[in-house]
Amino acid sequence: MKNITVSIDDETYRRARIKAAEQETSVSALVRKFLVEVAQDESEFERLKRREAELRAKIRGFRAADNVPRDELYRRGE
């Protein structure tokens, strides 16, 4: 386990102590809980990477050879 030092202003510390007392815990426990939750959250990159994998998994049976021929693609109003 690692120990860290955090510097905060007096008013923030006072309010954190009150909050901790209301929850029958310590300021250290509140900070620990917060940091654990932050560390467990998925980063935006990880979220997008997971979403891309989900979308790619849904694509079935695509082949570039199945593309519409160019002349059909540009045929209009016939």
Task: Please say whether the beta carbons of 19 and 30 come within 8 A.
Answer: yes
Residue 25 CB neighbour total at 10 angstroms: 13
Instruction: Return the sign of the alpha-carbon dihedral for residues 5, 6, 11, 16.
Output: negative
Query: Would you say residue 6 has pLDDT above 90?
Result: yes
pLDDT value at residue 63: 77
pTM for this predicted structure: 0.55
pLDDT value at residue 37: 87
* Whole-number average pLDDT of the chain: 89
Average pLDDT for residues 36-59, to the nearest whole number? Answer: 90
pLDDT value at residue 41: 81
Could you tell me the two tokens for 72? Answer: 């059909």
> In which band, very low, low, confident or very high, does the pLDDT at 13 lie, cut at 50, 70 and 90?
very high
